[in-house]
Amino acid sequence: MNRVFPKQFTWGAATSACQIEGGVLAGGRTFSIWDHYCQWQPEKILNEDSCHEATDHFHRFSEDLDLLQQIGVNAYRFSISWSRIFPNFCPTVNSEGLDFYERLVDECLRRGIQPWVTLYHWDLPLWLHYRGGWLNPSAPELFQEFASAVAKRLGDRVIHWMTFNEPQCFIGKGLYEGEHAPFFRLPLRDALLAAMSVIRAHELATEAIRRCSASSSGVKVKIGFVTVGIVSVPATEGEADVAAAEEDTFLLGENPLWSASLYLDPIFLGRIPEELPQRFGNVLPDWIERMLPLTQCTDFLGLNLYTAKRVCAGKERGAMKVLSPPGSATTNIGWEVVPECMYWGPKFYYQRYKVPIIITENGMAAHDWPSVDGKVYDPQRVAFLREYLLQLSGCINDGVPVEGYFHWSLLDNFEWAMGYRMRFGLIYVDYSTQKRIPKESASFYRQIIATSGEVLF
């Protein structure tokens, strides 16, 4: 059986603007909410770490792209800082901000690397935060303007676009649970309103990217939406356990903002999850139905897959959580190592939404540090890569159209409220000198790509 990855597979690494760029006020940029909280409520971030300098990628992007090229990827996923493009609440585009991303895109292409652009990776401009953020009724239109400005400049060169990354986090953790900027604990109703606003913004931005890219070239763009890969995996391959796991994967659960179907059902199925009015009808914003159906088609679904819950079929109905054996492997951030999520996750999501799947993120946080010989050995990440990618190859072999894999992350970086404690990179960063050291896993990933996965077996 041939289980290597297809030759035209997209192999990449991923980052996001706030987590790596720094250059917080460079080139006319202004604060995002994360810059703001780092500045004014530093105690919200572990160790009072700040994202203002991060990995200084804004000034070192060329060196970073060289390292990326050495790994041999054919794609790089990064995000655009909205506050660089629109530093203020006024319709004037900051062309210096666009210049930076244009250079980044051109330098990627010069190295044979396709740029995959995320428009929103949690860094809301402060000026919009002061106007209510995603609760401002005009937020979707403002996002559409941002998308248009970026697509007008880059749309002749960028094929792959992602409008949003993980709404579960910036709405769930940011507006409802108080764990991410702006650290709000709003009523569920308000957070649901923000979620609907984001879905509307996705629709408007998708239209804008298509329109503006088409006018600047004839490039046929592909637009996706990225969600947390919430997955329940079956404890056994028995039919009942598999069916229970699949159903459980898409349930709204205790906190609907944390589910994937809340966002994906409207986008890919043109309806809200049936459970929503049944269970949360009393708090639903009244205009929720008016938003549907969406008219724009979304080309792919991005899954950020890290871990999963193990379940079996319940005695009467539904799924039951299966406890992990004592001492099960967890990564530094506390997430259990569950490689099977790479098999069942894409399979379940494809069965429900019927669009190509991209693994837009996968990786792990570890305690990495340079050894006396100056090298960074990260055997756990090497083992993690092997196990997760073997499962992914099995999934593709079973006919699920998974078209790409992006490792999170290219570099160690600012892990939001966890500061710099969590190191997710293929490349180690010494934050006091900004020196980069490719870890052992970077070289293993290079071999995986070079052999289309043969080295995994």
Binding site for ligand NOJ (CB under 6 A): 16, 19, 165-166, 304, 361, 408, 415, 424
Selection from 264, 251, 272, 252 nearest residue 301 by Cα: 264
Whether 336 is catalytic is no
The DSSP result for 216-280, as a single string, is HS----EEEEEEE---EEESSSSHHHHHHHHHHHT---S-GGG-SHHHHIIIIISS--THHHHHH
- Which of these is catalytic: 177, 246, 340, 361? 361
- Which of these is catalytic: 107, 166, 246, 415? 166
Q: CB of residue 64 vs ligand NOJ: minimum separation in angstroms? A: 16
Q: Which is nearer to ligand NOJ, 335 or 377 (CB)?
A: 335
Q: CB of residue 42 vs ligand NOJ: minimum separation in angstroms? A: 19
Q: Which two tokens stand for residue 178?
A: 């108080």
Give me the phi and psi of 32, to 5 degrees please. Answer: -100, 175
Q: Which two tokens stand for residue 77?
A: 């996923």
CB atoms within 10 A of CB 288: 18
Q: Which is nearer to ligand NOJ, 244 or 358 (CB)?
A: 358
Q: Which is nearer to ligand NOJ, 168 or 261 (CB)?
A: 168
Strands 232-234 and 309-313: parallel
**3-state DSSP call for residue 428?**
strand
Quote the CA–CA distance of 27 and 304 in Å, as a whole number.
31
Q: Which is nearer to ligand NOJ, 16 or 148 (CB)?
A: 16
Q: CB of residue 365 vs ligand NOJ: minimum separation in angstroms? A: 7
Whether 361 is catalytic is yes
Element (H, E) at 441: helix 440-450
Q: Which is nearer to ligand NOJ, 416 or 445 (CB)?
A: 416
Q: CB of residue 146 vs ligand NOJ: minimum separation in angstroms? A: 19
Q: CB of residue 268 vs ligand NOJ: minimum separation in angstroms? A: 20
Quote the CA–CA distance of 281 and 337 in Å, as a whole number.
36
Q: Which is nearer to ligand NOJ, 157 or 436 (CB)?
A: 436
Which amino acid, residue 94? N
Q: CB of residue 180 vs ligand NOJ: minimum separation in angstroms? A: 10
Quote the CA–CA distance of 414 and 39 in Å, as a whole number.
15
Q: Which residues are catalytic?
A: 166, 361
